[in-house]
Amino acid sequence: MLKDFKKFIMRGNVIDLAVAVVIGAAFGAIVTKLVEKVIMPLIAALIGQPSFDSLNFTVNGSTVGYGYVLTALVNFLIVAAAIFFMVVVPMNHALALAAKRKTPEDPTEKKCPYCLSDIPVKATKCSHCTSSVK
């Protein structure tokens, strides 16, 4: 049983997932501090308060704190934007550069102009219809 557990833990995808969780947690901490210490103070400078948590209204003696939802929504949008601009955009850029660098391989086959079968590039006769090809 322990042997099977060790085999399971040492699979590549489990280790990749563990690394992703640790990096995600570290990235989340960076983004959280960015939101708390940079972006929300900038919002506070624009609208006068660093958090929307104090926004609420009362209905029949019950307080509805919609400001908490607004703060969570702003935090979510900032985190999503940070992930997009710090992870997705650079990754897409890197993939596009890699695709540009990849040189197309020389074809190894060509089509016979008579029967449209695939034949080797260097062939002078089609092996399917025996026609002469250039």
What residues of the chain score a pLDDT lower than 70? 12, 50
Q: What is the pLDDT of residue 57?
A: 92
Q: Does any domain span residue 1?
A: no
Q: What is the pLDDT of residue 50?
A: 67
Is-contact 71 51, C-beta < 8 A? yes
Q: What is the pLDDT of residue 110?
A: 92
- Asked if 94 and 127 sit in the same domain, the reply is no
Q: What is the pLDDT of residue 89?
A: 94
Please state, in angstroms and rounded to a whole number, the distance separating the CA atoms of residues 34 and 88.
Answer: 18
Q: What is the pLDDT of residue 94?
A: 92
- Asked if 92 and 125 sit in the same domain, the reply is no
- Two tokens at 3? 């042997």
- Asked if 111 and 98 sit in the same domain, the reply is no
The single residue listed with the structure tokens 């489990």 is 14
Residue 52 burial (CB count, 10 A): 20
- Asked if 81 and 128 sit in the same domain, the reply is no
Q: What is the pLDDT of residue 107?
A: 86
Please state, in angstroms and rounded to a whole number, the distance separating the CA atoms of residues 38 and 49.
Answer: 13
Nearby residues of 34 by Cβ (< 8 Å), 6 or more positions away: 78, 82
Please state, in angstroms and rounded to a whole number, the distance separating the CA atoms of residues 69 and 58.
Answer: 16
Name the domain count of the chain: 2
Q: What is the pLDDT of residue 81?
A: 85
- Asked if 62 and 92 sit in the same domain, the reply is yes
- What's the CATH number where 35 sits? 1.10.1200.120
Range of the structural domain that residue 99 is part of: 7-103
Q: What is the pLDDT of residue 22?
A: 92
User: Dihedrals φ, ψ of 113, to 5°?
Assistant: -70, -15
Give per-residue pLDDT as tens, 36-46.
788 878 877 88
Report in angstroms the alpha-carbon separations of 64 from 51, 60, 74.
16, 10, 18
Q: What is the pLDDT of residue 64?
A: 93
Q: Does any domain span residue 2?
A: no
